[in-house]
A = this chain, B = another copy of it.
Amino acid sequence: MAKFNAEVIIEGKKNARDPEGETIMRDLMIKHGYDMVSSVRSGKILKITLEAKNEKEAEDICWNMVNELRIYNPVAHVCTIKMVK
């Protein structure tokens, strides 16, 4: 068994408004000079450390977990998982 690190990112679906991202965009515009920024989306990240036989298994466990425990609400969120070193 070895330790693995996973990053679970939960963000709003494209069709749900993201007031936080919008506010940051607005603040940027007020502060000027940031018109190169075309979008800001906010989300939540969980950094998880877990034991598994290998990376593949670790990732599978994470996917099972986020689905089974509704770490994200599929009505409103999308979820991605990245294994990191």
Contacts and interface: CB of A to CB of B under 8 A. Distances in A.
Interface of A: 3, 9, 11, 21, 24, 27-29, 31-32, 34, 36-52, 61, 65, 68-69, 71
Given A34-B69, A39-B47, 8 more contacts: A11-B47, A24-B71, A32-B69, A38-B49, A42-B46, A42-B47, A43-B44, A44-B44
Nearest to A30: B69
A78 B21 CA distance: 20
B43 A65 contact: no
Contacts of A34: 50, 61, 65, 69
Given A24-B69, A24-B71, A69-B24, A40 B31 contact: no
